[in-house]
Structure 1
């Protein structure tokens, strides 16, 4: 072993279940606003729900669950988008000691059937008629399933009516016997390389990183004296989304829900709700950046935006050197330039996020250093953190006043991180899962003497900052024996506004290649800005040549960060994106690499076969002999 990061002190242990904090807040500050609901579909007006109102609604639903026969230890699935009722239902289930089984609403019929059967769910909460039909089509193979509650058909109201005669004391007595080590959630992994596995997460495990973050970083959520406000839009079906929900409830933050994951819906919700803190994943932050650029270009201010973005990154890098004791900070000229762009550009960019966001957190996958510096430079510092489903979420965070972009921060108090000799990250701490449901062999495979083998690769620097370099199973080994981690190349490719997705390939191939999809919105804008004149056929040919050259520039920019032997030498632009519907993305938006390679096997073969082959006079020994400069192949 090498690179050992010591564990700081931990927060006080949990004494009950996850629902307890809601009841405690309602008793202590009953009028504190905790949830915000839209007044109507698409309305920009949000009505606040106080702590006592939130608690009473949870209690009423819990009564209905008890009257329906739901008992402690029963598992109930929630197959719905991120919405108000998800929060009510989950806390009602935890109140009676039941276990929540989140299912992505985009899951296929087979995936829904597998999870409901594997977890042995006695009930499922669904959103609409389509989900009812999906569950109904597999009910015959689910003997344990007794209840299907449809939110859009008044499920909450029906449960409240059913439990109306039960006294509050019945619910409260059940809540009080929930133990910290009882299972709270069975969260299924994304299944990027095989079947999904159910991770049993305890109340203690889920609360631990939340309470640690609240204690150490809670003051950054809002200016002093203001209540923090968070827009929850990430799927609660993912452990990161669950963390956001628990953080808000346990910290007494005002939480609103946005179920639609479209750019327009999210933008509208940010403007109307005006959160003080933003939770995101890198793909969302990348999309916001590209939207900023596209909007600026459409207004004829593209060059201004790019200069402002460059200044933001330079300013943030200088600030970072200063806080790490490695430089004097931004010089006079840079400060002056930054102040100018603050008045003309940065303030407007923050306004698109609601105008109150000063800090954010990114998770799910590593955030590029360039993007992190950009957001810090415009006045929104993004904390890049790290965690897994098996760890109930967060393991690391950026230390306040010592933030270092390009890393995921340092271990949280109570968490220990090691890096094995082969680069694999091993972790242990209070938030580790209880095991994979019904699969002791798989649990033993990842647990090594109390340490969880994450499958992620990375390294710790001399100050215990962790940097993630990729997934162990994703490493590409070319026919020349060169090992290449694809994530950094893919990350840099996506920074180009035209590039939507990128998958680096090259196992047992003479060089590294890439499959690329284009951002449809930016492509429309790019074609309009290009404004090629002439006959249709000639115009299309010139457009395609220009597009090929632009994507080639994106590839060249990505290659600039790696050695020649690791660089992308061939690429192909695909006609359609990878998505959940075509089975090439997981519900948590992760790439199904093996499936992508299988689906595009013929195209990958053609990409390499189309490459001209010759033996140059001088070629570095690690290079595949005869491969020329990067060549592109477009699919029509």
Structure 2
């Protein structure tokens, strides 16, 4: 199959912009709880309700303050903060007066911040605390158009709201009336795995179509009948995926909470107290949850029972998958009995980590492995995988309800189309496709062809119309023997090992394929405690014979998925993980391949000199 399109479920936005829903919902359902604001105290985490009417009041007050401080329609205002209520508040206040949002990752370097503020000619920036303020302050002399820095932790919301008290509400409504569906809502920058990130102009219509399509098509998964859906946002709102979650929840009555710190130590207690009904996450989150559960079972000397339960879960989920695709009768009686037994002893505990109410989830950002998808589905949490880009305002494909095919990224969303070009490149089309790159006509013309977006990704559509991703065109490795190798499948299989955090496959213009491997510090610590009395420095552990043998077994298993000429012949375990702060990962946790190859040039050269 070379092309597939599906008819739309929703109409694209005809008038107005994203902020209109704030005022419409407050008029229609003023007492609906739309947000839960996190408050930390001696007794733990509390979630304070914010009604639709309360949110409208907060948005209007801040919008008036922005007007009083000189913000006008068309102005670009950057927001550089972790995920929190004020981030969402600024989004809708800016959209209420026709200004454009410029998301900036709070982990960005001074050079990256300078580029985005300069490229967008942003007139003001919202930062969270003093660290971001210092980053912006260090570069503002080169940004003559930047006239304001507002700091959340210094009370800028309250100050602006007080400043705008003399502005009539009617002025906000007049400015909001001037926003059209084709107006730019946000200038969102690509993750920049190679070269400088590019600003994607995403319109109000793009985001509305994306969010309305997802909620209309998948609404029944969000919560049990009669229960208000609730989502905890912990993905960066600076990323288009997180931004989409925010807008979808606000538009469609899903109670939204904000969790600033996505680390396991902070996220898991937040999930337990918030108790979401649905989860939006990235594969890394599901991997961490599974690995933590497995380590706990091993510490309790119940690893054999845990692994047996995992095997039953995968077999059960595969049988259900075959039935949904009309290729089998579903789980047999014996398998159902075993599955029910493990549900009480193992699977319920895994669901409890997510707060106990989640039965369905979405994974995005990068493909979820088939094995992990089966494990969670068998444990009672079906993860619907999807595929999209910044240029498509998040997802452009997703698994249909009740028919996930694990290991794929689903079928085109209603109203979207997928086409596979002759060279295997994925082209997509739909009303969620962006307007173009900011002030970059040449770059826009390179990727947009009569409504089709050339994604730069490689893949294929199977006989059921499900999209399989096999890599990026620019990431294809060509060995000195002329063999073309996509690194994605090897890297994904290696990352499935409990000890391995990241993997980068190399081999361009080299005689064979090799790999740089980093370790999960928590998993390595657990591994050490089980084997040695004294913990060792990670620089010593990576050279230990037992660990090298364990990683070699993982490499050998990964190699079974490819031909011999594509297999990894040598590897190096690094003593440090790749990080965003170190410039080797994008803020969305993708590998910066060029930067890694440059940083570890000596280690790579050594692999080929042996």
Bin for the TM-score computed over the shorter chain: over 0.9
Q: Does 1:431 align with 2:432?
A: yes
Q: Does 1:348 align with 2:354?
A: no
What does residue 23 of structure 1 align with?
23
Distance 1:575 1:533, change over 3 A: closer
Q: How does 1:150-549 map to 2 (within 5 A)?
A: 150-531=151-532, 544-549=544-549
Q: Does 1:95 align with 2:96?
A: yes
For residues 450 and 30 of structure 2, the distance between their equivalents in structure 1, rounded to whole angstroms, comes to 45
What does residue 11 of structure 1 align with?
10
Q: Is the 8 A contact 2:80 2:105 kept in 1?
A: yes
For residues 149 and 129 of structure 2, the distance between their equivalents in structure 1, rounded to whole angstroms, comes to 11
Q: Is the 8 A contact 2:542 2:573 kept in 1?
A: no
What does residue 44 of structure 1 align with?
45
For residues 373 and 425 of structure 2, the distance between their equivalents in structure 1, rounded to whole angstroms, comes to 24
Q: Deviations over 1:62-111 (max 9, x none)?
A: 00001111111100000000011000011000000100000000000111
For residues 354 and 548 of structure 1, the distance between their equivalents in structure 2, rounded to whole angstroms, comes to 37
For residues 511 and 327 of structure 1, the distance between their equivalents in structure 2, rounded to whole angstroms, comes to 41
Q: Is the 8 A contact 2:9 2:216 kept in 1?
A: no
What SS does structure 2 have at the residue aligned with 1:44?
Answer: strand
Please report how far the alpha carbon of residue 543 of structure 1 lies from its aligned counterpart in structure 2 after TM superposition: 8.4
Q: Is the 8 A contact 2:18 2:208 kept in 1?
A: yes
Please report how far the alpha carbon of residue 592 of structure 1 lies from its aligned counterpart in structure 2 after TM superposition: 0.5
Distance 1:177 1:533, change over 3 A: closer
What SS does structure 1 have at the residue aligned with 2:200?
Answer: strand
- Between 113-122 and 394-403, the greater mean CA deviation after superposition: 394-403
Q: Is the 8 A contact 1:527 1:543 kept in 2?
A: no
Q: Deviations over 1:244-282 (max 9, x none)?
A: 101110111110001012111011111110100011111
What does residue 35 of structure 2 align with?
35
What does residue 599 of structure 1 align with?
599
For residues 321 and 315 of structure 2, the distance between their equivalents in structure 1, rounded to whole angstroms, comes to 10
Unaligned stretches of 5+ in structure 2?
none
Q: Is the 8 A contact 2:490 2:559 kept in 1?
A: yes
Distance 1:321 1:131, change over 3 A: same
Q: Is the 8 A contact 2:351 2:379 kept in 1?
A: yes
Q: Is the 8 A contact 2:12 2:208 kept in 1?
A: no
What SS does structure 2 have at the residue aligned with 1:385?
Answer: strand
Q: Is the 8 A contact 1:532 1:542 kept in 2?
A: no
For residues 120 and 50 of structure 1, the distance between their equivalents in structure 2, rounded to whole angstroms, comes to 35
For residues 6 and 217 of structure 1, the distance between their equivalents in structure 2, rounded to whole angstroms, comes to 18
Please report how far the alpha carbon of residue 13 of structure 1 lies from its aligned counterpart in structure 2 after TM superposition: 2.0
For residues 102 and 484 of structure 1, the distance between their equivalents in structure 2, rounded to whole angstroms, comes to 35
What SS does structure 2 have at the residue aligned with 1:39?
Answer: strand
For residues 227 and 130 of structure 2, the distance between their equivalents in structure 1, rounded to whole angstroms, comes to 41
What does residue 69 of structure 1 align with?
70
Q: Deviations over 1:505-529 (max 9, x none)?
A: 1111121111000000010100111
- Between 159-168 and 396-405, the greater mean CA deviation after superposition: 396-405
Q: Is the 8 A contact 2:188 2:239 kept in 1?
A: yes
Please report how far the alpha carbon of residue 455 of structure 1 lies from its aligned counterpart in structure 2 after TM superposition: 0.3
For residues 555 and 437 of structure 1, the distance between their equivalents in structure 2, rounded to whole angstroms, comes to 42
What SS does structure 1 have at the residue aligned with 2:544?
Answer: helix
TM-score by length of 2: 0.97
For residues 427 and 69 of structure 2, the distance between their equivalents in structure 1, rounded to whole angstroms, comes to 43
For residues 6 and 13 of structure 1, the distance between their equivalents in structure 2, rounded to whole angstroms, comes to 17
Q: Deviations over 1:404-425 (max 9, x none)?
A: 1111111111111100011100
Please report how far the alpha carbon of residue 314 of structure 1 lies from its aligned counterpart in structure 2 after TM superposition: 0.8
Q: Deviations over 1:506-560 (max 9, x none)?
A: 11112111100000001010011113699x99xx799811111111111112112
For residues 49 and 604 of structure 2, the distance between their equivalents in structure 1, rounded to whole angstroms, comes to 53
What does residue 619 of structure 1 align with?
none
Please report how far the alpha carbon of residue 401 of structure 1 lies from its aligned counterpart in structure 2 after TM superposition: 2.2
Q: Deviations over 1:367-401 (max 9, x none)?
A: 11111111101000000001100111110111112
Please report how far the alpha carbon of residue 477 of structure 1 lies from its aligned counterpart in structure 2 after TM superposition: 1.2
For residues 304 and 97 of structure 1, the distance between their equivalents in structure 2, rounded to whole angstroms, comes to 58
What does residue 627 of structure 1 align with?
none
What does residue 552 of structure 2 align with?
552
Q: Is the 8 A contact 2:479 2:512 kept in 1?
A: yes
RMSD over equivalenced CA pairs, Å: 1.6
What does residue 628 of structure 1 align with?
none
Q: What number of residue pairs does the alignment pair up?
A: 606
- Between 88-97 and 304-313, the greater mean CA deviation after superposition: 304-313
For residues 533 and 177 of structure 1, the distance between their equivalents in structure 2, rounded to whole angstroms, comes to 67
What SS does structure 1 have at the residue aligned with 2:18?
Answer: coil
What SS does structure 1 have at the residue aligned with 2:454?
Answer: strand
What SS does structure 2 have at the residue aligned with 1:70?
Answer: coil
Q: Is the 8 A contact 1:479 1:509 kept in 2?
A: yes
Please report how far the alpha carbon of residue 41 of structure 1 lies from its aligned counterpart in structure 2 after TM superposition: 5.7
For residues 6 and 434 of structure 1, the distance between their equivalents in structure 2, rounded to whole angstroms, comes to 21
- Between 557-566 and 363-372, the greater mean CA deviation after superposition: 557-566
Please report how far the alpha carbon of residue 301 of structure 1 lies from its aligned counterpart in structure 2 after TM superposition: 1.3
What SS does structure 1 have at the residue aligned with 2:2?
Answer: strand
Please report how far the alpha carbon of residue 167 of structure 1 lies from its aligned counterpart in structure 2 after TM superposition: 1.6
Distance 1:409 1:87, change over 3 A: same
